[in-house]
Amino acid sequence: MFKKISKEKIKQYLPITFMGICVVAFGLFLLTHDDFSIADFLELTRGYPLITSIAVIVAFIIKGFVVFVPYAVIAISAMALMPFPAALTTVIIGTIVNISVPYWTGRLTKDDWIQKILDKFPKARKYYEMTDNLFLLSFTLRAMNLSNEALGLLFGSAGLKYIPYMIANLIAIAPSAISYIILGKDMNIIESIQSPIFWGAIVIDCMMVAIMTIYFNRKKKKEELSKEEPQK
Question: DSSP letters along 140-195, please?
Answer: HHHHTT--HHHHHHHHHHHT--HHHHHHHHHHHHHHHHHHHHHHHHH--HHHHHT-
| Full domain range(s) for residue 196 | 8-223
Assess if residue 232 is contained within a domain: no
Q: Decide if pLDDT at 6 tops 80.
A: no
Residue 115 pLDDT greater than 80, yes or no: yes
Q: What is the pLDDT of residue 196?
A: 76
1 lies in a domain? no
Angle, CA of 221, 225 and 230, to the nearest 5°: 170
Residue 1 has pLDDT above 50, yes or no: no
pLDDT band at 162 (very low <50, low <70, confident <90, very high): very high
In a domain, 56, yes or no: yes
Does residue 141 belong to any structural domain of this protein?
Answer: yes
In a domain, 229, yes or no: no
Looking at the structure of the chain, the number of domains it has is 1
pLDDT > 90: what percent of the chain? 3
